[in-house]
Amino acid sequence: MAFEDNLGHDSSQPIGQDYTVSATGLISRTLSLLTSKFVHYIIIVGIAGAASVILSYVLLYALFGLIGVITADPFGYFISNFLLAPSLDIVLLGVLVGYAIFAFVLTAILGGAAIKFTLDEYGGTTGDVGTSFSRSFRRFPTIIMVQLLTSAMVAIAITPATILSARAMAMIDITDITDPFDLIFPQGFMEMLLLSFVLLAVGGLFLAYFQTRLAPTLAIVLDTDLSAIDSFKKSWELTSGNFMHVFGSTILLGIVASVLTLIVSIFTTMTLLPTATTLVIDAVITTLLFGALTYIFTVVLYRDLSSRKGTSTSTVSSSLDELRV
């Protein structure tokens, strides 16, 4: 598969080639891979991902009359709905967390297959959907462990600020509000709210740094037989000295994803009557068409960082002993 961005060699060349590209080159390569194998990525990620979104919508609406979708974040639902709002309907909480666990597992399988498929395509070997899923199932425990540790990291970063801000808001008795333009806040409210903002900023910086340093971890998991911890270590090694490169390219990817989501939203708004379900339709279409985008980027970034460090697939696994020293 040739790339027209003049940022590197043809990816059909041997794995030892130079995959080093700029931040914009990472995005260009990611989009090129997505469009060149668009149908394959829809089969691997899009269809099942979109079906999961639709099923979660049906569950929420049929059982509770709510309009929305359940994402793959069981920890987030538990923290926000149980720790922050313990009076929440326990049945609703069970459905939210239970389905989120299902989506969490499904995402691990689909993401692993998409990454394996991209590793083959970008490495010069024709990707195969069946082989990709087979590899994903074999590495499933490690993928799950990586996701669990990453989710725990997110929880550590944002939970203190979230709990503190929730307690601050709970201090306000809305029944006592007579003039919304002349609010009188309870004593200690502003101090607690300000502290929650500080904790959120600190947690956000912590999260941004560690997520950047661990960005290629899942690609390492699918490309090698390293454990979750050793994959984290390898990711840390690859991103050493390349923090701004990884961080900047991740920001660019977020901008591209936001633009694509906006285009879908504009399309649905122009073709459908604006209703609450339009947001659900947006989520279904976005997942179907662009659900593999992040996974493709992870592989392109991994190859780029490996080239910068002078390593390749053939030398990654052999570094296990060095990582344990």
**What's the pLDDT tens digit per position in 41-88?**
999 999 999 999 999 889 888 888 888 888 877 666 666 655 555 556
**In-domain check, residue 304:** yes
pLDDT value for 278: 83
Confidence tier at 7 by pLDDT (50, 70, 90): very low
Burial (Cβ within 10 Å: 0-12, 13-18, ≥19) of residue 98: middle
Give me the domain span that covers residue 74. 29-171+184-317
Cα(113)–Cα(134) distance, integer angstroms = 8
Residue 121 has pLDDT above 60, yes or no: yes
Mean pLDDT of 293-309: 95
Residue 13 has pLDDT above 70, yes or no: no
What element of type H or E holds 259? helix 243-271
In terms of average pLDDT, the best of 3-12, 238-247, 272-281 is: 238-247
**In-domain check, residue 272:** yes
Lowest mean pLDDT among 10-24, 96-110, 183-197, 224-238: 10-24
Q: How many residues does the chain have?
A: 325
The pLDDT > 70 percentage for the chain reads 80
User: What is the overall mean pLDDT for the chain?
Assistant: 83
Q: What is the pLDDT of residues 151-164, one digit of tens each?
A: 888 888 888 887 78
**In-domain check, residue 277:** yes
Q: Which of 220, 312, 319 is nearest to 18 (CA)?
A: 312
Higher pLDDT, 24 or 91: 24
**In-domain check, residue 166:** yes
**In-domain check, residue 102:** yes
Lowest mean pLDDT among 23-32, 162-171, 180-189: 180-189
**In-domain check, residue 211:** yes
**Could you tell me which residues come within 8 angstroms of residue 106 by beta carbon, excluding any fewer than 6 positions away?**
48, 49, 52, 72
Higher pLDDT, 58 or 15: 58
Mean pLDDT of 274-290: 86
pLDDT value for 130: 96
B/e letters for 23-50, b = 16+ CB within 10 Å, e = fewer, are bebbbbbbbbbbeebeebbbebbbebbb
Confidence tier at 6 by pLDDT (50, 70, 90): very low
Q: What is the pLDDT of residues 26-49, one digit of tens each?
A: 999 999 999 999 999 999 999 999
pLDDT value for 286: 93
CB 261 within 8 A of CB 282: yes
pLDDT value for 5: 44
- What's the total number of domains in the chain? 1
Residue 11 has pLDDT above 50, yes or no: no
Residue 270 has pLDDT above 70, yes or no: yes
* Residue 156 token pair: 């550590």
pLDDT value for 318: 41
CB 296 within 8 A of CB 44: no
pLDDT value for 313: 47
